[in-house]
Amino acid sequence: MRTISDTGKIKTVKLQGVKFKLVVIIGGVVFAIVLFLVSPFFRIQEVVIQGNVRVSEADIRNRLEVTAGSGNILMFNTNAAHSRLVGNLYIADVIFRRDLPGRLYVTVLERRLSAYVEHFGSFLYLDDFGRVLEVRSYMSESLPLLEGLRFSSFQLGEVLEVENPVDFAAVVQYTQLLIAYDLIHRISHINVADPANIRILVNYLEFHVGGIADADEKVRTIAEILRELPDAGRIRGFVNMRQLQTQYFLELLQ
């Protein structure tokens, strides 16, 4: 005959056996899931790069350090890849998206090259916020050269630090407006030597826009004038736009 004590021991042993079996089963399931997740089923089969215009796909793939057919998409370290990609100063941000089981989308958000500043015979390439993207001995495309800014040094990847920050802010604002109205590639110079009379030039044709007051309206008006003057780059003259008016006059110079 079993005593109450023996019965309790039997129940305890059975309960421990059930727990052990449960742990084994759960462990087996977890192990199987882990094996499945790291299996070739989740190998990166395709890397789709999009959004890049100025930055080459080759450079992006090189910085990703992953190729189709290698690497596990679930184990892909997006933080590390992001840090490597934004090492290219033309890349402002990167968005990753996993399309399981094996397609990785990489969307690149680029900074916009918008203007140049001459510095000791070289040209600083600036984005539309005044950040220095690179330095070259030449201007690579038709964009405004900024004149009248005073600075002694610069740092790649950082916004240009100038002695006249108010004038710099005006340049940034006008540059962004010129981009918005699709004029940035027609403008040859923006001169802030006289902050009370900022000048926007199309070669020898000058638009005297004053300060930043009513900047949007002034740039919109410049766009309308240039639509009527397809050969504006050959004209020597100026348009006084310091004050908003219902009409403006082009004064020709000899």
pLDDT in tens, 155-211: 999 999 999 999 999 999 999 999 999 999 999 999 999 989 999 999 999 999 999
Instruction: Report pLDDT digits (tens) over 45-78.
Output: 999 999 999 999 999 999 999 877 778 899 899 9
Residue 14 predicted with pLDDT over 70: no
pLDDT score recorded for residue 233 = 86
Domains and their CATH numbers in the chain? 40-110 (3.10.20.310), 113-252 (3.40.50)
pLDDT score recorded for residue 32 = 44
Q: Please enumerate in sequence order all residues whose Cβ is within 8 A of that of 28, keeping only pairs 6 or more positions apart, or say none.
A: none
Spatial contact of 160 and 124, defined as CB atoms under 8 Å apart: yes
Helix 57-64 and helix 78-85: axis angle, to 10°?
140
Residue 5 predicted with pLDDT over 80: no
How many whole angstroms separate alpha carbon 112 and alpha carbon 175? Answer: 11
Q: Minimum mean pLDDT among 39-43, 55-59, 111-115, 125-129: which range?
A: 39-43
**What mean pLDDT, rounded, does the chain reach?**
88
Query: Which residue did the predictor score with more confidence, 4 or 249?
Result: 249
SS3 for 29?
helix
Q: Please enumerate in sequence order all residues whose Cβ is within 8 A of that of 86, keeping only pairs 6 or more positions apart, or say none.
A: 92, 93, 94
Please compute the mean of the pLDDT values over residues 247-253 and round it to a whole number: 91
pLDDT score recorded for residue 181 = 97
Residue 33 predicted with pLDDT over 60: no
Query: Which residue did the predictor score with more confidence, 89 or 38?
Result: 89
pLDDT score recorded for residue 12 = 60
pLDDT score recorded for residue 138 = 97
Please compute the mean of the pLDDT values over residues 73-94 and round it to a whole number: 96
Please compute the mean of the pLDDT values over residues 97-114 and round it to a whole number: 96
pLDDT score recorded for residue 36 = 42
Please compute the mean of the pLDDT values over residues 231-242 and round it to a whole number: 93
* pLDDT band with cut points at 50, 70 and 90 for residue 230: confident
Residue 37 predicted with pLDDT over 50: no
How many whole angstroms separate alpha carbon 151 and alpha carbon 153? Answer: 6
How many whole angstroms separate alpha carbon 145 and alpha carbon 131? Answer: 15
Spatial contact of 49 and 106, defined as CB atoms under 8 Å apart: yes
What's the half-sphere exposure (Cβ side, CA atoms, 13 Å) at 214? Answer: 12
Residue 39 predicted with pLDDT over 90: no
